[in-house]
Amino acid sequence: MKLTKKTHACVRLEKDGRTLVIDPGTFSEEDAAVGADAILVTHEHMDHFDEGRLRAGLETNPAAELWTLRSVAEQVSAAFPGRVHTVGHGDTFSAAGFDVQVHGELHAVIHPEIPRITNVGYLVDGSLFHPGDALTVPDHPVETLMLPVQAPWNKISEVIDYVREVKPRRAFDIHDALLADLARPVYDAQIGSLGGADHGRLAPGESTEV
């Protein structure tokens, strides 16, 4: 499949002429979900779910559908009857020709005084895993890991250990909009040398085959 990185946590996957978009949030391009045949959202935080961007994708393509957790589905299902599907850990489904498994239940801890919300990750075609805002390890081999490289809830040692635990063939950075350009070579060097997997970084709009 073709992987295209969008800004921050959003990615587009293309296969056999169909497109799957994951996590079009407020840091992503305004048209991040436009042209999608299916959209997946991991959780309700604004940098992963922006209602305007989501609506743009669903309104542009009347056949497009959304798979997400209950907290997001409740906000948009009335406007798109029959096109919004609620999923949770352990579910499997087909979306625009992609086979998807759902892994994970909770957002990573930001601070003990901040309640944890639901967060799910998506394993696409048994190959590419997008964990959302958690360091979930699927009970399935992962070829390509979308790696949340920088967030208020993680530090680089945890990111490195996550790559080691998942053991993907390759990892590409996501969740990187708040990472300063000055810091990127440091993250690249440490994750690349210590993670135990090929590590790459795609600029917004850049694509690769996975």
φ, ψ for residue 5 (rounded to 5)? -80, 130
pLDDT tens track of the chain, all 210 residues?
999 999 999 999 999 999 999 999 999 999 999 999 999 999 999 999 999 999 999 999 999 999 999 999 999 999 999 999 999 999 999 999 999 999 999 999 999 999 999 999 999 999 999 999 999 999 999 999 999 999 999 999 999 999 999 999 999 999 999 999 999 999 999 999 999 999 999 999 999 999
The pLDDT value recorded for residue 166 is 98
The pLDDT value recorded for residue 39 is 98
Report all structural domains of the chain as residue ranges with CATH numbers, in order of start.
2-111+118-199 (3.60.15.10)
The pLDDT value recorded for residue 29 is 98
Q: What does pTM read for this prediction? A: 0.97
Residue with tokens 């009347």: 62
Q: Is 14 exposed, middle or buried (0-12, 13-18, 19+ CB in 10 A)?
A: buried
Determine the Cα–Cα distance for residues 148 and 145; give it in Å rounded to an integer: 9
The DSSP bridge pattern shows strands 98-103 and 121-124 to be antiparallel
